[in-house]
Amino acid sequence: MQNLTTLKDIDLENKKVLLRVDYNVVTDGKITDEFRVRASLPTIDYLIKKNCSIILISHNGRPEGKVVESMSLRPVARLLPRLLGRDVTFIDECTGDEVQQEAEFLRAGDIMLLENLRFNPGEEKNDSGFAKELASLAEVYVDDAFAAIHRAHASTVGVAKLLPHAAGLLVQKEYDTFEMLMEKPKRPYTAVIGGAKISDKLGILKEILNHVDALLIGGAMANTFLLAKGHNMRSSKVEKDKLKEALSIMRKAQTKKIKLLLPVDLVVSKSVDDKNKPKTVNTDGLQAGDIALDLGPKTMDLFNSVISESKTVFWNGTLGIAELPKFAKASSSMAHSMISSDAKTIVGGGDTAAFVDKAELESHFSFVSTGGGASLQLLAGNKLPGIEILLRK
């Protein structure tokens, strides 16, 4: 992997900086978690020390080019002063005369947050005119929005073509972490992959077998693997059209002598909101109507024994329906097993990052990624548009 252009590679002193951040954290007018906002603070602090003025830009949600008030970034503008200890001006547009005027008046240390970029249809279309309007506000562009870096949008690719540019501290750390996983992990290296669907993670499942020593599979995705091995999964969620892919992945692991572990017991119920206590059954013991909703204790003992022997562990995808406490036990067990190990521990963003953040465990891992989709695409060996443009030429 090539090196990124970093903050140390460009002249930032007294510059006006357009800083792409990932504040995709507002739902129905409320901030759902502060993790991604806090992740942007080191880069903001670095730029302030360089006497920069900063124009923060971000998307939030999927407003499809229209103004949707519940997706406004205004709640983030109220949060930032508390986190930064300084004023942040909020402009309820992302382009136009008011934005231009406010940008012109910025002085060293001033910070301005623009409204949701996706309120403008030019953002997702990577419209050159919209990119030019954004670029005209500043002298330098910095991308610190790792979770959006796999998108070829105006604010991730278009602007970078028009201004001197660099990766922010978060993007640099994310990239360096995944480069380590791809090229030089300490061994044994174990990947734990959960979540709902094989189809969402087919790329990483195929590619990661070229890098790991062990692969542990959980979540509803494991049901398809178990079905492919001949287990009757009853009413559990499965992808019957992915059975060949599941068998192919298991064969590849066997050929490469990689330890691939599937669940040996499961926590089942007749429905997610069944008032009866969930049962734990072996994988060949599901009864009519049973739905697998979490991994059982025997499985977690197996998984945890592998984690305890590992030197690097990557985890993406919760192992059960972790938003419900009664089906979050396997995910909690995995989190604590990783934390108590001697391994370098990386959590791959998305729902998994949200789970460990909600459990207030984030600081105990070596690194928690802010980008679920972006991290998976990197590990699947894909080129990401926002990364490609930041690479040193």
Q: Are residues 162 and 241 in the same domain?
A: no
**Structure tokens, 117:** 């970029």
Q: Are residues 139 and 199 in the same domain?
A: no
Q: Are residues 145 and 34 in the same domain?
A: yes
Q: Are residues 260 and 371 in the same domain?
A: yes
Reference 61, options 51, 53, 69, 50; nearest CA is: 69
CA dist 346 to 125, 212, 319, 355, 368, Å? 33, 14, 16, 14, 6
Q: Are residues 210 and 82 in the same domain?
A: no
DSSP assignments along 255-310, one per residue? HTT-EEE--SEEEEESSTT-SSPPEEEETT-PPTT-EEEEE-HHHHHHHHHHHHT-
Sign of the C-alpha dihedral computed for residues 381, 385, 386 and 387 taken in this order: positive
- CB half-sphere exposure, 28, CA atoms < 13 A: 1
Whichever domain contains 303, its CATH number is 3.40.50.1260
Q: Are residues 147 and 201 in the same domain?
A: no
Reference 241, options 198, 203, 211, 200; nearest CA is: 198
Respond yes or no: is residue 350 known to be catalytic. Answer: yes
Q: Are residues 335 and 233 in the same domain?
A: yes
Give me the residue label for tokens 């978060």. Answer: 170
Pairing type for strands 312-316 and 344-347 reads parallel
Domain count, the chain: 2
Q: Which of 141, 172, 203 is the last residue of a domain?
A: 172
Question: Which of 194, 218, 348, 350 is flagged as catalytic?
Answer: 350
Chain mean position to CA 28: 21
Q: Are residues 349 and 297 in the same domain?
A: yes
At what angle are helices 41-49 and 169-183 packed, to 10 degrees? 120
Question: Which of 15, 16, 36, 118 is flagged as catalytic?
Answer: 36
Respond yes or no: is residue 125 known to be catalytic. Answer: no
Parent domain of 305: 185-379
Terminal alpha carbon distance of the chain? 13
Residue 388 lies in a domain: no
Q: Are residues 46 and 144 in the same domain?
A: yes
Per-residue confidence in pLDDT tens, the chain, 393 aa: 568 999 999 999 999 999 999 999 999 999 998 999 999 999 999 999 999 999 999 999 999 999 999 999 999 999 999 999 999 999 999 999 999 999 999 999 999 999 999 999 999 999 999 999 999 999 999 999 999 999 999 999 999 999 999 999 999 999 999 999 999 999 999 999 999 989 889 889 999 999 999 999 999 999 999 999 999 999 999 999 999 999 999 999 999 999 999 999 999 999 999 989 999 999 999 999 999 999 999 999 999 999 999 999 999 999 999 999 999 999 999 999 999 999 999 999 789 999 999 999 999 999 999 988 899 899 988 999 999 999 987
Q: Which of 172, 197, 223 is the last residue of a domain?
A: 172
pLDDT score for 2: 67
Question: Which of 38, 74, 197, 311 is flagged as catalytic?
Answer: 197
Respond yes or no: is residue 36 known to be catalytic. Answer: yes
Respond yes or no: is residue 197 known to be catalytic. Answer: yes
